[in-house]
Structure 1
Amino acid sequence: MLNIADTLHTWCREQRPFALATITAVTGSAPLPIGTSLAVDDTGHVVGSISGGCVEAAAYDLCRQILDEKGGARQERFGYSDDDAFAVGLTCGGELDVLIQHIAPDVHPHLDRALNAAVEGRPTAVAQVIDGPAPLLGSLMSLDADGHPVGDSIADPRTNAVITDRTRAQLRTGRTARIPLSGSTDTCPEELTVLVHVAAPAPRMLIFGAVDFAAALTQAGRFLGYHVTVCDARPVFATTIRFPHADEVVVDWPHRYLERTTVDARTAVCVLTHDPKFDIPLLKRALRMPVGYVGAMGSRRTHHTRVGLLRDAGLPEDQLAQLRSPIGLDLGARTPEETAISITAEIIAHTHGATGRPLAHGHGAIHPPPRPAFATGPGEDGGEPIS
């Protein structure tokens, strides 16, 4: 639902009822991820999309039915039928599970606060019951930036505590996810599944080395939605004029800046200096931090020498294995712009646990189930950001 937070916030502020259709599960190929929503207000105005066009008309009709009923929630599945050319489904061959529910802003005032936080770029999370006992289906709980529940609870205190704890953990990772909660008389009596919608600040891309390759990478990083920082110890090179696409340019020794800045499991660290006096102190720290990606530029000979120096500095093999070097995928890149695409392509593949191979050479679903967190290794538990 947070993909259309601006419009939903307006409707809540105007106390306008609406029906919300949300993707709760994806099987096989589908164009949009879980948590994506389409909404219809009481005048018939529609916003958002759940399939890129394949099932929008059917979802719209179901939303209008929910609005006419003035309440309730229902689950629907949209697939593809080879037997019926006119069946509503996904032409890509995948399947979508969709929850359609009625939202009355006066019943869920906390939702307006969560939507407002999302619009303003502040962290927030909304837990939505997408499977379980009928009375709980579609129930909502919001958490603020500090992870504190806002507004109504969903179920009994033990279930609420479990939902709050899991939602808080997901808020730290900055990722929307399905969370099954099995019934337990001690912790969570209700057996249900919640979809945790998360809005978080843009992930960070830290580029070390104010070189031409960094200029191209800042532009590619901004295009992908990263908050991009360029850091270099040389003030003559680290200027905003040279890096107009960077969100910030910092003059400092790379390892010293990394020690004092904030990183989390979504942070990408790109080391482009290929100079040992900068690289080694920086990588010693970066590889011990819960960041999502660490890559370093240089030839294979440079990489071999660099790894030896890091090993001599005491880094264990499991930390050394997190280093992506030489940085980027093998695209035959030559120019700074091509290299930026090579690097960002590797970051995307690493984020989603993908192979980086051509799709034409693969088999099975194009979009496998998402991984629960950005990183493998030290950051995969979605732990607290560090400073």
Structure 2
Amino acid sequence: MDAAVAAQDAAKLAGLVKEQLGPTAALKLLQGSVNELTKEAPLVVAEVLVKLPSISVSMPRGRYDLLLTEKGLVFQGKTPLGLILWEDVVHLLKVPKQESNRKAGAPAKMYLLVLVLSQPVVVGKQEHRCIVLNANGTKAALAPALEPGGSGSQRHAKVAKVLEALSAEGQAEHEVLSQVLEAGRGIEKVEPAPSVCALEGIQAWKGVEEGVLYPLSVGLCFLPKPAIFMPAKDILHAEAGSGHGPRGGDLIIHRISNTTPHIFSNLAGADVTALLAYLSTLVAHHQSNGGGVPKHVSGEDDEEADPDYEVEGDQRPAKRRAVTRSQTKAAAASGKTPVLMEDLEPQSSRPVEKDEPEANSEDEDDPDFAAEEEESEIDDEDFAFDVN
């Protein structure tokens, strides 16, 4: 039996267990251990296609070795996430982290890759329906080597083709990760696009957490924490709230699957107007087209939803620089009024309980997490991570 385990021969190991215990007892043992098997067995019996070592993960926070297998994804670390089946990955989102000095359309220094799940991953007492990966936007990354597992399968062939192209081009980490995940899952990534909304990302607060709202063709996403994805099919309607914060009002989103609406605060007035127009057209298109993805959802009514409609220059919402709390506090201390809005050229291309400590706590010195620690000293709070 030890030899079967060492050789990672699942069939031989199963035969030995059945021989020693009998078919009935072996079946009961398997059924009683199914939860543990889903976390540990994939590392032994799954056919590994690619191994991506030391991937920085924002939610749930930690550093993991990411294994792409025939069945799905395995995040291997101090607190393994277990096997995430490919069919449970609903969307792959790729959005740029907001930077105050980045020009519209320019590459970002860091990207967030979001795996939107139909089934939550449980870590401690929290359920996560979004797995958020950090991916460097400028540093070239070596393409991972193709593992021998799954030879001959269609998924293996797709991944092999992508890795061959990546090895020749030497692209940045965000390109390597996104293209490998696209090939493994068999779906295209979703990115912000000017044809969907004039705004690439909108700074907002969810409770006490500062983040960014990303309007996408498949729904609205708030990152980095709490990581929330609101699919178009689950959005009932949206409205402007009565909040009067230092930077603007509130955005209230009512969902079909949840009686409690999501409230995002401290949005600039022009951004609220643009988001309401985007959400209104997105929901209307989904309801009238059976869930299809709209080509144009940046208008305020049916006329603006028309592909031939062009937004006039004075109607386009102003683009805003992201202003962090530290910048605001520094300006207040110096007696200056912080600049919260800046007009930029329109985009021409894509541009509450206290949680338990995460097991991968050695990543506190990781440079990928440094920006998050500087901007907020508040512990994570429990929020809903539902997408259904």
TM band (smaller chain): under 0.3
TM-score of the two chains, using structure 1 as the length reference = 0.25
**1 or 2 for the larger relative contact order (CA 8 Å, sep ≥6)?**
2
